[in-house]
Amino acid sequence: MTPAEILGRVLYKDQDVIVLDKPAGLAVHAGPNSPDHLELYFNALTFGWAEPPRLAHRLDRDTSGCLILGRHDKAVKRLGKLFAAHRIEKLYWSVCIGSPPAERGTVDVPILKVSSRGQGWRIKVDPLGQPSITDWSVKGRCDDLTWIEWRPRTGRTHQIRIHAKHLGCPLLGDAYYGADPDTMAPLHLLARAVSLPPMAPSKPPIRVTAPPPVHMREALAICGWEES
Give the catalytic positions in this structure. Answer: 60
DSSP letters for the chain:
--HHHHHTTEEEE-SSEEEEEEPTT-BSS--TT-SSBGGGGGGGG-TT-SS--EESS---TT-EEEEEEESSHHHHHHHHHHHHTT-SEEEEEEEEES--SSSEEEEE--EEEEEETTTEEEEEE-TTSB--EEEEEEEEEETTEEEEEEEESS--TTHHHHHHHHTT-PBTT-TTTSS-TT--SPP-EEEEEEEE--SSTTS--EEEE-PPPHHHHHHHHHTT----
